[in-house]
Structure 1
Amino acid sequence: MFIRSLRTCLPPSRRVPHLQCIVQKASFSSRSPLRSYADTVNNLKIGAHTRVIYQGFTGKVATQNAKDSIEWGTQVVGGVKPGTTSEHLGLPVLPTVRAAMEQLKPDATAIYVAAHQAAEAIEEAIEAEIPLICAVAEHIPLHDILRIHSMLETQSKSRLVGANAPGIISPIGKCRIGFQPLPTFAPGHIAIVAKSGTLSYETVASITRAGLGQSLCISMGGDVVAGTSHVDALRVFENDPDTEGIIIVGEVGGRAEEEAAEWIKDYKKRSKNPKPIAAVVGGVQAPPGRMMGHAGAWAAPGELTAAKKRKALESAGVTMVDHPEKFGNVMKTLLNQAGRDVSKIQQSASQNQRRGYHTARRLPTRPALASKKSFPLTAPSQQRHLHIEGERAATLLTKYDPSFPISSTTPPSDGHYISVTVDRSARRPAIYASPTIEPSQLHQRVRRFPYPYREGPSQQDVQAVMEHLQMSTAPPAAKTQAAKLIKTLTTFYKEKECISISASLSVSSEGELQAHDIDISFDDAAFKSTKRQPDIHALRDTSKEVAVEVEAEKEGIVFVKLAADDASHNIGTLVNGAGLAMNTVDALALRGGKCTNFLDTGGKATSQTVKRSFELILRDSRVKVLFVNIFGGLTDCGMIADGIMMAFKDVDMRGCPVVVRLRGTREEVGQRKIAESGLALEAFDGFDEAAKRVVELAGQ
């Protein structure tokens, strides 16, 4: 519980200036029946009225970002640097967020500090009751985020976007809170909610080319637990008078897309003229149990696969696309079918542009925007959540609790399943339980039991888990052991900062509980960002991992080898952005192509990184054609072209043909360099044409 200074304010609006209201003191309680975190959803309605501050204001990244945002039209009113009262960019710098709140009256804060400081910065913003908090940093430890959400759920003043998110932007209101590439955006009337940054930039570019523009774009971010969900965004888009159509960008992991489908079904029933909705979901080809670039891109037991998420959205009446390049034409068709006048929407967007909005698709960008060091907060490293199983995992648990009932035997077919991981919808840790370990039934019978992060599961929670496990008829000793085991697992989960921990349970002929097949994943960010849990992460044995993936990690490249034993997989892929990399593999599969790898060069992409990626991909003798698919949102296409040409000079290409698609930032420069290189490269603008050629070459 927090004692805070409350501001009772009207919900933000893009049309009405923000009204400052009476200040009073009050206490917050999670037991309040009137207000909750869900009530902060309208804080997402940013616009010309929105007053923005920066935490970490004087840092190099924040400074350049603020300059660009101010030039674009965002109302930046100052920032925070701990212990400092000064001026920066002609704006006030204050020593605390609370002081900034009192003196500058911000509606939103952009947190531009490194991952190891980000949790504290978010907490300070919550305590100061900043209405909208945007956290862009990647690799904030999961358990820090769970602690933050345990704070957020007790209050109704602050809304979080992120973490690990490009942020939130209102092109129609000239307000950017994040690091979205401004030249890609245009004011208009299509709203977008996305998990993936690069996929969202591709989506935005398609909508801009179609002349429709964007009203509001919200990024959930790629972390395990997001401060704002698809449904939160949809609730805002539904009632936004500037929004005529909606796009959802999803991916494997979590239940956000499934919940969005349920919300859309209800929306279509209650609305006489629902806004048309289209979507893309990445990760259909993602191998089970693998994390695909984003920290949250993996499916927990009971969660739908990406393919089933697509079907759920389709069944709700959402139009699905296989690549975001198609959204512009698809949305025009849907708007026409819904009886909306597309020409008027395009005219309105065009008029907004003539009023001075920064919208051109190929506007020159500041060198800092595309440089290697511009966005270090989002540069990915291979987040290989430490995975330990079998005897090593059992040893860890028995060392932690000598009474833990480990068994080295194979679990019987009538065993039970238990896991502690995250319920992303509840934004809490949860016990996942199933009365069966039978693979064909586990997905349907697993049930989630979320519990408070700080307090842990209650006795009632434990009892509910026991009942679902169908252990009510077990011998008394086994039931006592099971209750203790649940407590041990949840305590271990928190103290050792696990991502997940699971086991199979059975009862021996002597009436004793036995735990089999222990499997534990630990959060790498806890160690890499904050140096916590060093003893746990010292257990990593890279000799048992895929060598090319480990080597890629050292270069800041996210690489996943696909179908290693299948010779029919013969297309190598090099992509920037985890979501776009997943979508590339999916889209090629729909066209009959099979990929040897997932590779995300990410925000660290440089000419040298591209060259190194070529080397790693071509180590796989299966590769018959290499597909470079780059959307330059934050990545400079000219620089990518330099890397491709460097690779041709220095890497043994084995006669492997290369198909290149470059779109986005400085695309004309990159395309010209490729065209004039004299090298055996095939360059394309459109994804469909490029993908068709790749599959054709792979089949030769």
Structure 2
Amino acid sequence: MPVPRGIPGLSRLRTRAFSTSVARTSYEDTVQNLKIGKHTRVLYQGFTGRVATQNAKESLEWGTNIVGGVKPGSTGEHLGLPVLPTVREAKEQLKPDATAIYVAAPHAGKAIEEAIEAEIPLIVAVAEHIPLHDILRIMSILKTQSKSRLVGANAPGIISAIGKCRIGFQPLPTFSPGHIGIVAKSGTLSYETVASITRSGLGQSLCIGMGGDVVAGTNFVDALRVFETDPDTEAIVLVGEVGGSAEQEAADWIKDYHQREKNPKPIAALVGGRMAPPGRVMGHAGAWAGVGEATAEEKYKILQNAGVTMVDHPEKFGNVMKSLLKQAGKDVSKIQQSAAANQRRGMHTMRQARPRVVSRAQKINLGQQRDLHLREQKAVDHLSKSLKGFTISEETPQDTDSVYLSISVDRSNRQPCIITSPSSNPRKIHHRLRRFPYSYLEGPDKATIMEAIKHLRLDAAPPAAHAQTAKLISSLASLHRSQEAVSLAVNLSISSSGTLHLSSPQLFYDDAAFKSNNRHPELHALRDPSQENAVEVEAEKSGIVFVKLNTDDPHASIGTLVNGAGLAMNTIDALALPPHNGACSNFLDTGGKATSQTVKKSFELILSDPRVKVIFVNIFGGLTDCGMIADGVILAFKEVDMRGIPVVVRLRGTNEEEGQRKIAESGLELEAFDGFEEAARRVVELSGQ
């Protein structure tokens, strides 16, 4: 398969060596590199940048053992620590155990590759909008070695609260040393979880951010393997969401764990996006359920059936974990005393921590739209130009049987795959679908293609049709890589004469390649915003993700304004499910930061829906101070014609008391709450539902 011109760096990968690791070990063996702590020597790539500098100052004050950083082509000193020109030189001189990639998305892929070449044991990538195919390339490299482990991308990072080691941008005032291990896809949901565990007095041992991208360098099972043997971890929290199958894999692991372990550590979990509409990307690049993937509701039940205690809101984790530890025969008071002792030992550094005022939304202001989806005639036209020798139409002929064929991403195997089903009937695809993973660098080989065709059950088709199908699969795989697609799907039918006919194409592209690196501008020029929801397009201009919900329900009268995609999904879930049984008019993620301008714009977007009778502002002040957020809400409320619509504000996190006080004393039609349950009850009451 030819190397596509769109992705720099691929041409050298077939001969380039990234590790001196022996063949008997693999990437899976690097999972123990996640065990960070006081011993961990941390390097920063992009060390002298503004965001990295602020982050490093906080982490140093907290106790993280940062040994220096890298700035390409430069040698010197920064924050009293050495700066070296390359990662390899930094590895030789500073002997780091981990590196934090504080490099913007356009260059993050190269920075990760440099860390792999230098065999840094742990690589933490926090940047959002790293192109999907850059990560697929990186994962293909990681699979060839056994020295380096990746966390992320698009993740808050990894933090040992008990070991005072922070590699990421987690809000330090929220964390407390203790004995609960946490792994999460969503940053904001993990912060809410951490806050609840801190309030319970149990504290955290190790917290791992899996990240919200389509492909993650570290997943739930990797984290569970670490927590299982970690002597500091007494119980485990797992925070999942719609998209992918990591939660099902975790459930399978947990079933096996319960069978082989007489006294397993208690596990509780949450799955966000249970009310997410099918086919929509919910803020995170990976927050969508692909063909054949379980819904968030199904994943919730799968984990529950595996013996996991499920919650519907992260605020509940603290009390739930105390109850589970007690049921497991653990002395909860002793665990709390141990956590308190660790907190006292680290109190001098905890007081120095300051809430960040620079958020990810400021750091990477690329907007929140994460996909280009070509359907109907545009998809037909584009595929016809890209694939020669095939007949393509918008609709599948009614008098023919068709099968389903797609080139997509196997999130579990972290590589592309062929997806086939012997039926294109949407109700049957899910049960008859199979995935055939293949090498990102080499493309699908003949044996893999033949297996995929065999599953299509084209037994009665003539040999020429089989050959054409093989050619089609190879061509689609090449197109998938060269145009940096997420998935390319078609229905395939064969005429009585043996001719292939393609129909109902669905072409799905991750637009990070365009927004981060300006790749494929001609492809992304095909997007027609006039065919999209006008309010959602308007929101995108301000870096806000807005999705209109329950369009057929005139009683969907609760408008939501939330910071963070995971928290926004969970807010809608918790309002809609018993005991509240409310109905939301929208999903709105402000992008991680609630300033007066983003709140003002969010109010305007929400109020464009005449169904709205109440607005629920649910903010976790992790990266920003709740007092500042309250000022933003009050200012925006004064500047927008609210039409007498009441607003319920729930603020938790950094400096939450000050934020709640400002809201309560504003004299405006704002109601302040700290607990989610009481806020939700009031919201539903005001909505009239």
Using the TM superposition, give the Cα deviation of residue 376 of structure 1 relative to its aligned residue in structure 2, in angstroms. Answer: 3.6
Question: Per-residue CA shift, 1:183-239, capped at 9, x if unaligned?
Answer: 000000000000000000000000000000000000000100000000000000000
Identity over aligned residues, as a percent?
70
Paired letter, 2:386: Y
Which of 344, 354, 367 matches 1:366? 354
Change (3 A) 1:683 1:107: same
Q: Pick one of 360, 368, 374 that aligns with 1:382.
A: 368
Relative to structure 1, is the Cα distance of residues 2 and 88 closer, same or farther in structure 2, using a 3 angstrom cutoff? farther
Give the 3-state SS of the residue equivalent to 1:82 in structure 2: coil
Residue 663 of structure 1 aligns to a residue in which SS? strand
SS in 1 for 2:451: helix
Tell me the residue number matched to 1:672: 661
Moved more, 627-636 or 238-247: 627-636
- Distance in 2 of aligned mates of 1:55 and 1:472: 55
Contact 2:396 2:491 in 1 (8 A): no
Deviates more, 1:238-247 or 1:559-568: 559-568
- Partners of 1:556 and 1:604 within 8 A in 2: no
**Match for residue 165 of structure 1?**
155
**Alignment match of 2:306 (pick from 278, 297, 316):** 316
Tell whether the 8 Å contact from 2:185 to 2:241 is kept in structure 1 after alignment: yes
Structure 2 segments unaligned to the other structure (5+ residues): 1-13
**Is the Cα–Cα contact under 8 Å of residues 42 and 67 in structure 2 kept in the other structure?**
yes
- Aligned residue in 2 for 1:353: 343
Report the AA paired with residue 327 of structure 1: F
1:435-446 to 2 correspondences below 5 Å:
435-446=422-433
Q: Which residue of 2 aligns with 1:651?
A: 640
How far is the alpha carbon of 1:680 from its aligned partner?
1.4
State whether residues 183 and 358 of structure 1, in contact with CA within 8 Å, keep that contact through their aligned partners in structure 2.
Answer: no
**Paired residue secondary structure (1:193):** strand
In the other structure, the counterpart of 2:685 is 696
Q: 1:662 aligns with which of 639, 648, 651?
A: 651
1:81 to 1:289, Cα distance in 2 relative to 1, 3 A: same
User: CA separation in 1, counterparts of 2:35 and 2:473?
Assistant: 42
Partner deviation per Cα, 1:596-636 (whole Å, 9 max, x = no partner): 00000122431111111001101100001110001111132
Cα deviations across residues 147-171 of structure 1 (Å, max 9, x unaligned)? 0001000000000000000000001
Question: Residue 602 of structure 1: which of 585, 588, 591 is its match?
Answer: 591
- Partner-residue secondary structure (3-state), 2:206: strand
Q: What residue in structure 2 maps to residue 18 of structure 1?
A: none
**Counterpart residue number, 1:232:** 222
TM alignment of 1:518-533, pairs within 5 A: 518-533=505-520
- What is the Cα deviation at residue 82 of structure 1? 0.4
Give how far 1:481 is off.
1.3
User: 1:398, CA displacement in angstroms?
Assistant: 1.8
Pairing 1:340–2:330 present: yes
Tell me: CA distance 1:185–1:252, structure 2 relative to 1, closer, same or farther (3 Å): same
Asked if 1 retains the 8 angstrom alpha-carbon contact of 2:563 and 2:593, the reply is no
Equivalent-residue separation in structure 2 for 1:295 and 1:450 (angstroms)? 21
CA distance, structure 2, for counterparts of residue 27 and residue 577 of structure 1: 39
Q: 2:316 aligns with which of 308, 320, 326?
A: 326
Q: Paired residue for 1:98, among 83, 88, 97?
A: 88
Which amino acid in 2 is paired with 1:187? P
Partner of 1:546: 533
User: Does residue 261 of structure 1 match 2:261?
Assistant: no
Are the aligned partners of 2:650 and 2:674 in contact in 1 as well (CA < 8 Å)? Answer: yes
Q: What residue number does 2:558 align with?
A: 571
Change (3 A) 1:255 1:411: farther
Contact 1:379/1:604 (CA < 8 Å) preserved in 2? no
Q: TM-score, normalised by structure 1?
A: 0.94
From 369, 376, 382, the equivalent of 1:396 is: 382
In 2, the alpha carbon distance for the partners of 1:191 and 1:378 equals: 29
Q: Provide the C-alpha distance between the structure 2 equivalents of 1:447 and 1:545, rounded to a whole number of angstroms.
A: 32
Does residue 88 (structure 1) correspond to residue 69 (structure 2)? The answer is no
How far the C-alpha of 1:356 sits from its partner, in A, is 2.0
Question: What is the number of equivalent residue pairs in this alignment?
Answer: 673
How far 1:471 sits from its partner (Å)?
A: 1.1
Aligned to 2:287: 297
1:274 to 255, 264, 276: 264
Report the counterpart of residue 620 of structure 2 in structure 1: 631
Structure 1 residues 408 and 529 mapped into 2: Cα distance closer, same or farther (>3 Å)?
Answer: closer
| Structure 2 residue matching 1:130: 3-state secondary structure | coil
Kindly provide the amino acid, as one letter, of the partner of residue 418 in structure 1: L
Counterpart in the other structure of 1:11: none
- Assess if the C-alpha contact under 8 Å between 1:284 and 1:307 holds in 2: yes
For residues 409 and 520 of structure 1, do their structure 2 counterparts lie closer, same or farther at Cα, with a shift above 3 Å needed? closer
Distance 1:544 1:118 in 2: 33
* TM-score, normalising length: structure 2: 0.95
Alignment partner for residue 119 of structure 1, among 109, 112, 119? Answer: 109
For 1:196-215, what aligned pairs fall within 5 Å after superposition? 196-215=186-205
Q: Would you say the 8 A contact 2:649–2:672 is kept in 1? A: yes
Q: Does the CA-based 8 Å contact 2:58-2:353 persist in structure 1?
A: no
Residues 680 and 375 (structure 1 numbering): CA distance in 2 closer, same or farther, change over 3 Å?
A: closer
Distance 2:416 2:207 in 1: 29
Separation in 2, partners of 1:544, 1:3: 45
